Amino acid sequence: NSKVIQTPRYLVKGQGQKAKMRCIPEKGHPVVFWYQQNKNNEFKFLINFQNQEVLQQIDMTEKRFSAECPSNSPCSLEIQSSEAGDSALYLCASSRTISNERLFFGHGTKLSVL
Amino acid sequence: GDSVTQTEGPVTVSESESLIINCTYSATSIAYPNLFWYVRYPGEGLQLLLKVITAGQKGSSRGFEATYNKETTSFHLQKASVQESDSAVYYCALGQQGTGSKLSFGKGAKLTVSP
């Protein structure tokens, strides 16, 4: 069973609404990734953190998404104004070190934007 | 850019038969690619099946094997005799050595093993 906890499992929003999802990484894992898996099963990397610092992010994430990993709180990914094309499975993964590519994934949050 | 192309599901195999799921990669921006197979069993999150970071080496786990072939840019997943419990979705992935940077995933192959 996954030790990366993502909530909620399912999220339904209307276009233009905010959509927020959370992730608790595996204990002791300071590196956190967010990926988007669309209906065609294509993965898109969104952003990653080491502790509270952003390491990398794509343009889309900079413009319409906000993400953070505060200390002693769950990480979060928020879409400011949801679009139909944002409907996807959002996967959070954590890793023990920056050089350890073994990722531990949560079950994901399935977002449907109506 | 960096990308992975793999057999896309569904793949149906009878129990005790052999399996191969093809994976080829393109690593234009990665000097030392690492290659992975991840698996999603029903009801579970993605998890690492095996990983190889050196060209020419073979990784193995749970009876599955994959050899990192730099000449053919391939990392095919094989198993000699599948079991019903192997039914899952298998993803090939490519990453950069040692930096913890993002992985590039294939689209996944849904394997169904029939009894």
Q: Measure B38 CA to nearest chain A CA, in Å.
A: 9
B6 at the A interface (CB within 8 A)?
A: no
**Whole-angstrom Cα distance, residue B10 to residue A103?**
25
**Whole-angstrom Cα distance, residue A61 to residue A63?**
5
Residue pLDDT, tens place only, B3-32: 999 998 799 999 999 999 999 999 887 778
At residue B111, does pLDDT exceed 60?
Answer: yes
Residue pLDDT, tens place only, B50-108: 999 999 999 999 999 999 999 999 999 999 999 999 999 999 999 876 655 678 999 99
Cβ distance of A56 and B100 shorter than 8 Å: no
Q: Measure A43 CA to nearest chain B CA, in Å.
A: 6
**Whole-angstrom Cα distance, residue B40 to residue B92?**
12
Provide the pLDDT for residue B91.
96
**Whole-angstrom Cα distance, residue A103 to residue B38?**
9
**Whole-angstrom Cα distance, residue A100 to residue A93?**
12
Measure CB to CB from residue A97 to each of B45, B100, B101 and give the nearest one: B100
b vs e for B54-66, b when ≥16 Cβ sit within 10 Å of the residue's Cβ? eeeeebeeeebbb
Provide the pLDDT for residue A60.
76
B1 at the A interface (CB within 8 A)?
A: no
Measure CB to CB from residue B103 to each of A4, A55, A101 and give the nearest one: A101
Cβ distance of B103 and A91 shorter than 8 Å: no
Rounded to the nearest angstrom, the gap between the alpha carbon of residue A59 and the centroid of all alpha carbons in its chain is 15
